[in-house]
Structure 1
Amino acid sequence: MTSPWNDPNMSDEGALGREEPTAGRRYRDSVADSVRISDLTAPRKIPPGSGWRKFVYKTSFKLINPGESPRERHYRDLRGRIKRHIRRQYVITLISGKGGTGVSTLTASIGGVFRQCRTENVIAIDAVPGFGTLADRIDENPPGDYAAILADTDVQGYSDIREHLGQNSVGLDVLAGNRSSDQPRPLVPAMFSGVLSRLRRTHNVILVDTGPDLEHPVMKPVLENTDTLVFVAGVTADRSKPVLRALDYLASQGYHELVSRSTVILNDFTDVRDKAAIAYLSERFAKTGATVEVMPFDPHLAKGAIIDVQNELAKNTRLRLFEITAALADKYVPDTERY
């Protein structure tokens, strides 16, 4: 006997219990779901924060609100991207393949922008095996180093580990590298891994400043713990070719996925912008799959001293830093989506 449920001549309406929820009969949409409170009120226009718009807003006793300028809206969008939710930690490693390209400067600068926009703890780590200069860009007198953290057996939370970290005016923490010339303590893989495991408990965004020697043993745990790679290159041949070699080397060592989703920053060291060189290098680096960003020359960054992202940078430089940092925040991939 043929089951009535399988009768091909039976209409969809007769197959009660077998039809798709959206097929056949249509039910009226929920009235409550169709009502949005925002439809009942006029959209809020955010007051301007600078320029002639702010002047008009203030002098009219807030009766005339021209709204934000396009630049202010752009900054608000960038801050929103930088403030995106990050589960666990996000480790960003900056490398070059050649000294003198501005890796430490950009580590401190990008870290400063992250900390400016986020409420969670952000730290920059000096992982240069020799004598790193990262702390010189953030805090001239950091209280401790790797050895101090590893020797402290009573580190429970941020307030404990903070005793060993330097910090700048916006709250960016820094872990200094070896700063003692009379009693050098070479950085070894176990030291980096041990300290990083502790910092993962207290910091949400971690930036790692590295040296030019990619074959140094400490680079293995650095790369194994990296979520996003940032290559820093100059605009001249001698400051860009070593980075291309570094890209090829890391890809050949099994880090091709990191390389393919990396960022290359062309860091301009002069106030004479060579557009042809920038265009050529951008095209070459883009072939690796990396995102290419250009960092303009800024005299404040060129000083090699404490970096004040908030007050001392030129307007265009500060904007570029925010755009680069937002692009790096966009590259964050939660652990559950990586495989």
Structure 2
Amino acid sequence: MSEPSNAADNRRPQHLVADENDTAPTIFRAQNRFIDPAQQPVAPAGPVGPPAPGYPPPGPPPGLQPAASQPVTPQPVAPQPAPAPEQLPPPYFDLSTVALLGQPKRAPTEGWRKWLYTASLHLINLGDSPRVRRRNELVEQVRRPLRGCYRIAVLSLKGGVGKTTVTATLGATLATIRGDRVVAVDANPDRGTLSQKVPLETPATVRHLLRDAEGIQTYSDVRAYTSQGPSRLEVLASETDPAVSEAFSAEDYTRTLEVLERFYNLVLTDCGTGLMHSAMSAVLAKADALVVVSSGSVDGARSASATLDWLNAHGYRDMVRNSITVINGVRSRSRSGRGTKVDLTKVVDHFARRCRAVVTVPFDAHLEEGAEISLDRLAPQTREALLELAAVVAAGFPATARTNA
């Protein structure tokens, strides 16, 4: 009896029976169902018809660029929607005192408003007057934070206009309102009188400071060479002998400043009337602010204007634009005809066009004495003018720390 498998093979057509060594291509080749890729006919090059609907147009394979002779039409790019902004967590509630308790209204400090506030058992609070609020704003401006040492030069081409007085009163105002150290240096080569504006505590002068400069290490060391007034303004006196003080050179002033700026935040320099003496070049080179003093007279205004002209002609244009002009000792007109006849409005306008600010300091009987200065003895108008001057100076303080040069 034959094997079933052989019977099955006998029943299939002979051309479908394959040996064990036969492969699928052999069977498909026998049935003309296999096409050899090497024998595939190549289609002749020619125009390509339009693609079938729903299929993209033919293009070069990825990584290949079309020929230069065939221009490529750029396809429009659909705009992408902007990403949604990142959702930040809600900020924490401010826990400051003002946010939690509110800003209390200040009680009036003077005048009938204070009397009414006291008489009503603190029920009627009208606050301070506009004048008092303005003064408080100036005080806050004077207390502006200061980093490093700020150097102010006070000068005038004409003597007798109150340059030393302005230096002493400005320094006293700054020292009284601010909490840092303020010192005024007498750099007048012609026997300066700055030391006479404060009680004399020591006979030491700038010459003694320079002689012992290497041994000065602390503030208490330098304090032995200065005199301090009730306002906390310190003064470093100059030599009383004109022959010695004339030798105060630019190098001496630079060395003096190197010592003082280590211990003081504000250094005011009372310059001489001569712009050509030896120390003036160093004073102008080291100054951060310039205060030009003028009187209310015609010759005083002309001398102050000539001072600005000289500075412009010698390369200090930027310093002139940022300078402050002080019209000192102005007498107001009275019904009796006393007082200045100069049109101060035109004088102020002249210097306002050339400088950063102009401040008018009225005549004061206490300052006319020429002795030690006490701010408490000044007239209210004089104190307000000096406060405005100090605020204008403080407005020029740098916002960032400056390296002392």
Distance 1:38 1:154, change over 3 A: same
Among residues 380, 383, 397, which one is paired with 1:318 in the alignment? Answer: 383
Distance 1:58 1:158, change over 3 A: farther
Measured in 2, the distance between the counterparts of 1:54 and 1:242 equals: 46
Tell me, what secondary structure is at the counterpart of 1:12? coil
Distance 1:297 1:29, change over 3 A: farther
Unmatched 5+ residue regions in structure 1? 14-18
Verify the 8 A CA contact 2:197 2:372 in the aligned structure 1: yes
Distance 1:67 1:189, change over 3 A: same
Measured in 2, the distance between the counterparts of 1:8 and 1:32 equals: 43
Structure 2 match to 1:279? 345
Measured in 1, the distance between the counterparts of 2:360 and 2:330 equals: 11
Q: Is 1:80 aligned to 2:140, yes or no?
A: yes
Pairwise CA distance, 1:26? 5.4
Pairwise CA distance, 1:135? 1.1
Post-superposition, which runs of at least 4 consecutive aligned residues in structure 1 deviate over 3 A? 33-37, 56-66, 140-143, 269-276, 334-338
Distance 1:239 1:142, change over 3 A: farther
Higher relative contact order (CA closer than 8 Å, sequence separation 6+): 1
Give the TM-score normalised by structure 2.
Answer: 0.74
Structure 2 match to 1:157? 218
Partner amino acid, structure 1, of 2:81: D
Verify the 8 A CA contact 1:95 1:209 in the aligned structure 2: yes
Kindly report which structure 2 residues correspond to 1:153-302, keeping only aligned pairs within 5 A, or say none: 153-180=214-241, 184-186=244-246, 187-272=248-333, 273-274=339-340, 277-302=343-368
Measured in 2, the distance between the counterparts of 1:124 and 1:263 equals: 18
Structure 2 match to 1:303? 369
Verify the 8 A CA contact 2:297 2:342 in the aligned structure 1: no
Measured in 1, the distance between the counterparts of 2:87 and 2:122 equals: 48
Tell me, what secondary structure is at the counterpart of 2:215? coil
Verify the 8 A CA contact 1:89 1:203 in the aligned structure 2: yes
Instruction: Return the structure number with greater helix share.
Output: 1
Listed one character per residue, the Cα deviations across residues 48-107 of structure 1 (whole Å, up to 9, x for unaligned) are 222223333444554544333323222221111111111111111111101001000010
Structure 2 match to 1:106? 166
Structure 2 match to 1:46? 106
Structure 2 match to 1:331? 396
Pairwise CA distance, 1:30? 1.6
Pairwise CA distance, 1:37? 5.5
Question: Taking every aligned residue pair, what percent have the same amino acid on both sides?
Answer: 30
Pairwise CA distance, 1:112? 0.7
Distance 1:275 1:34, change over 3 A: farther
Pairwise CA distance, 1:319? 0.7
Distance 1:210 1:8, change over 3 A: farther
Q: Is 1:69 aligned to 2:129, yes or no?
A: yes
Unmatched 5+ residue regions in structure 2? 1-61, 64-75, 334-338
Measured in 2, the distance between the counterparts of 1:76 and 1:127 equals: 34
Structure 1 match to 2:197? 137
Listed one character per residue, the Cα deviations across residues 314-338 of structure 1 (whole Å, up to 9, x for unaligned) are 1111111101110111012346689
Measured in 1, the distance between the counterparts of 2:270 and 2:279 equals: 12
Pairwise CA distance, 1:307? 1.1
User: Which range moves more in the overlay, 228-237 or 133-142?
Assistant: 133-142
Structure showing greater radius of gyration is 2
Measured in 2, the distance between the counterparts of 1:197 and 1:105 equals: 25
Structure 2 match to 1:12? 81
Tell me, what secondary structure is at the counterpart of 1:293? strand
Aligned residues: 323
Partner amino acid, structure 1, of 2:377: E
Verify the 8 A CA contact 2:187 2:272 in the aligned structure 1: yes
Tell me, what secondary structure is at the counterpart of 1:87? coil
Partner amino acid, structure 1, of 2:395: D
Listed one character per residue, the Cα deviations across residues 283-314 of structure 1 (whole Å, up to 9, x for unaligned) are 222232442221111111111111111x1111
Measured in 2, the distance between the counterparts of 1:146 and 1:176 equals: 6
Pairwise CA distance, 1:211? 1.0
Verify the 8 A CA contact 1:139 1:174 in the aligned structure 2: no
Partner amino acid, structure 2, of 1:219: M
Pairwise CA distance, 1:275? 7.2
Pairwise CA distance, 1:171? 0.7
Verify the 8 A CA contact 2:202 2:224 in the aligned structure 1: no
Measured in 1, the distance between the counterparts of 2:95 and 2:346 equals: 54
**Aligned-pair RMSD on alpha carbons?**
2.5
User: Which range moves more in the overlay, 262-271 or 161-170?
Assistant: 262-271
Structure 2 match to 1:16? none
Give the TM-score normalised by structure 1.
Answer: 0.87
